[in-house]
Amino acid sequence: MPKAVRYDEFGGIDVLRVDEVERPVPGDGQVLVRVKAAGINPSEAVIRTGALADLFPSTFPSGQGSDLAGVIEEARRGGRRFLARRRGDRIQPEAGLPGRAGPGRGR
């Protein structure tokens, strides 16, 4: 089962936990990535403290770890963004800001 780093309130690293989450289903033009390595970048750490809540509001549970590298497990056609991507391709995507999309990130 996939795992995600999440938090339910603003704070330091002590609010982080690792949860098992449902396997996401990619939509048209999206890919599903098996993450091999992930990290919390400094911007995410500041957002997690709540210091930028006016600029980057969070919904809880929210998640961390948008810096990642992995392998495409499933690719859905329909969008221009990932047409050249295939199952088995290694990628290092820019996943976006916490609280925007993906497992472990608020919807």
Per-residue pLDDT tens digits for 68-106: 899 999 988 775 554 457 889 888 876 554 433 444 433
Work out the burial of residue 90: count CB atoms within 10 Å of its CB; fewer than 13 is exposed, 13-18 middle, 19 or more buried: exposed
Q: Which residue has the tokens 């969008």?
A: 79
- Please state whether the predicted TM-score (pTM) of the whole model is above 0.75: no
Contact 85, 31 (CB under 8 A): yes
How far CA 63 is from CA of 16, 18, 52, 80, 101, in Å, comes to 9, 10, 15, 27, 9
Check residue 99 and give its pLDDT.
38
